[in-house]
């Protein structure tokens, strides 16, 4: 705790654009007790990010620290931030394996509470690493064990990916459930104007997906599912929310498959709760891997029936009656059939939000848990 009596927290992230982790951090910033805590952000980019203005509006600071691929230059930059902006009580690192380096620097700078937070089950990618990549991963995991005072993970699978298969046996370990703000889901409007604005027909069966256009999200398989869905229900539509490096390629494939007029590429949006409650009828997520998949929690809060891959951690199954898990080895036709089974089964009048509110994924419970971690006694270093 610093001289002004507040616990000062510095989050280390790549950048504060719209994504699962970043959106959760914004929920935390909005709801954390400002009388007791200050939150600042250290990012690896000079590019303006979607949440930058709101972060500054809350009185938080954003510090760029570039060149994470150049350890000496990065170390100078992080040390400069820690020295120039006063003493931080908590260094909360969200950069996966690279947290080994950031937390080592934090320990050298005298930051007492140093948190490594795993948000991703990266094992499918890590297992393919060779040579120097394997050396890097092994070295960073060792640095995390040496320098972290707390291990947090979005799920059991995310914890195992970064901290090892027996991570939960370490007294420093715990699952930190993401929280979502349930207010926009609880007070959902039945207004159809958003649906009309997207060009969706009144009778269309709209299947939604929210996620960055990256390999992990498996958009190519989504197109195959959509093709099967259209064959069975010509009025069906696929609403894709998000952006990313693979978007142009996916749009090109959609045109080649004759699906472009059956799909809406909505781009990155700030109104995801409204899209879920007002425009979508079902939700699909065939991810190759996830740390949690917080958007699945949002979809359940919106009352949407979900069809998701069996690679997504089981912690997301808040309302099991809404969630169907399907193997990625199943054909797209099987996925389409499962989606159609959810037709007309969307929960209304905030029933989904009320159910999620009773789970650990309420933002109030999530923030309260994080506040206890930030104010708790420092773990004895091994």
Q: At 8, which helix (H) or strand (E)?
A: strand 7-13
* Cα–Cα dist 220/215, whole Å: 9
Please name the residues in contact with 356: beta carbons below 8 A apart, sequence gap of 6 or more: 180, 182, 185, 297, 300, 301, 318, 319, 362
* Cα–Cα dist 318/297, whole Å: 7
State mean pLDDT over 310-320.
Answer: 96
pLDDT at 379 over 60: no
Which residue intervals of 127-187 are DSSP H helices? 132-147, 156-163, 183-186
Full DSSP string of 52-118: HHHHHHTT--EEE---TTSHHHHHHHHHHHHHHT---SEEEE-SGGGHHHHHHHHHHTT-SEEEEEE
Residue 3: band (very low, low, confident or very high) from pLDDT cuts 50, 70, 90: low
Give the up-direction half-sphere exposure of residue 24: CA atoms within 13 A in the CB hemisphere: 24
pLDDT at 183 over 80: yes
Question: Are 182 and 301 within 8 A, CB to CB?
Answer: yes
Percent of the chain at pLDDT exceeding 90: 92
Q: How far is CA 228 from the centre of its chain?
A: 29
Three-state DSSP class for residue 128: coil
Please name the residues in contact with 169: beta carbons below 8 A apart, sequence gap of 6 or more: none
Distances (CA, A) of 94 to 30, 62, 164, 271, 311: 19, 15, 17, 25, 22
The pLDDT value recorded for residue 376 is 81
**Residue 244 φ/ψ, nearest 5 degrees:** 150, 175
pLDDT at 190 over 80: no
Percent of the chain at pLDDT exceeding 70: 97
* Cα–Cα dist 24/28, whole Å: 6
Structure tokens at 276: 């879920």
State mean pLDDT over 314-337.
Answer: 97
pLDDT at 382 over 50: no
Residue 193: band (very low, low, confident or very high) from pLDDT cuts 50, 70, 90: confident
* Cα–Cα dist 298/362, whole Å: 11
**Residue 182 φ/ψ, nearest 5 degrees:** -85, -5
pLDDT at 381 over 70: no
The pLDDT value recorded for residue 1 is 63
List the one residue out of 332, 294, 296 whose CA is nearest residue 208: 296
pLDDT at 30 over 90: yes
Over residues 222-280, the pLDDT tens digits come to: 999 999 999 999 999 999 999 999 999 999 999 999 999 999 999 999 999 999 999 99
Distances (CA, A) of 67 to 155, 247, 256: 29, 26, 39
What is the DSSP-derived secondary structure letter of residue 149? Answer: S
pTM exceeds 0.85 for this model: yes
pLDDT, mean over the chain:
95
pLDDT at 293 over 50: yes
State mean pLDDT over 342-362.
Answer: 93
Over residues 46-64, the pLDDT tens digits come to: 999 999 999 999 999 999 9
pLDDT at 349 over 90: no
What is the DSSP-derived secondary structure letter of residue 44? Answer: S
State mean pLDDT over 12-17.
Answer: 98
**Residue 13 φ/ψ, nearest 5 degrees:** -140, 165
The pLDDT value recorded for residue 378 is 43
* Cα–Cα dist 240/143, whole Å: 39
Residue 128: band (very low, low, confident or very high) from pLDDT cuts 50, 70, 90: confident
Structure tokens at 369: 């848990």
Residue 5: band (very low, low, confident or very high) from pLDDT cuts 50, 70, 90: confident
Domains and CATH numbers, the chain: 7-179+362-375 (3.40.50.2000), 183-357 (3.40.50.2000)
């Amino acid at each position: 705790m610093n001289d002004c009596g507040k616990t000062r927290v510095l989050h280390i992230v790549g950048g504060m654009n719209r994504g699962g982790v970043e959106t959760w951090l914004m929920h935390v910033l909005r709801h954390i007790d400002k009388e007791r805590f200050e939150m600042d952000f250290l990012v690896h980019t000079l590019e303006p990010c979607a949440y930058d203005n709101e972060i500054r509006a809350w009185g938080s600071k954003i510090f760029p620290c570039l060149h994470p691929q150049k350890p000496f230059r990065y170390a100078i930059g992080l040390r400069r931030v820690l020295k120039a902006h006063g003493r931080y009580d908590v260094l909360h690192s969200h950069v996966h394996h690279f947290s080994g380096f950031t937390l080592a620097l934090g320990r050298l700078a005298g930051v007492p509470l140093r948190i490594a937070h795993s948000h991703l089950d990266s094992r499918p990618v890590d297992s393919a690493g060779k040579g120097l990549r394997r050396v890097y991963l092994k070295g960073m995991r060792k640095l995390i064990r040496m320098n972290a005072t707390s291990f947090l993970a979005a799920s059991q699978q995310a914890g195992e990916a970064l901290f090892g298969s027996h991570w939960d046996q370490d007294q420093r370990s715990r699952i930190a459930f993401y929280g979502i703000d349930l207010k926009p889901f609880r007070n959902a409007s039945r207004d159809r104007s958003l649906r009309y604005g997207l060009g969706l027909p009144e009778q269309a069966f709209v299947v939604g997906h929210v996620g960055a256009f990256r390999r992990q999200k498996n958009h190519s398989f989504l197109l195959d599912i959509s093709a099967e869905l259209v064959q069975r229900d010509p009025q069906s539509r696929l609403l894709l929310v998000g952006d990313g490096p693979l978007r142009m390629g996916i749009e090109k494939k959609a045109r080649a498959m004759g699906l472009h007029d059956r799909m809406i590429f909505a781009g990155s949006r700030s109104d995801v709760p409204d899209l879920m409650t007002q425009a979508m009828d079902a939700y699909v997520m065939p991810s190759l891997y996830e740390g949690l998949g917080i958007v699945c929690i949002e979809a359940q809060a919106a009352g949407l029936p979900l069809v998701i891959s069996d690679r997504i951690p089981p912690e997301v199954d808040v309302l099991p009656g809404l969630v169907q898990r399907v193997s990625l080895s199943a054909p797209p036709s099987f996925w389409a059939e499962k989606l159609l089974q959810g037709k007309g089964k969307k929960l209304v009048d905030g029933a989904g939000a009320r159910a999620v509110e009773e789970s650990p994924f309420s933002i109030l419970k999530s923030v309260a848990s994080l506040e206890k971690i930030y104010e708790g006694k420092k773990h004895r270093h091994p």
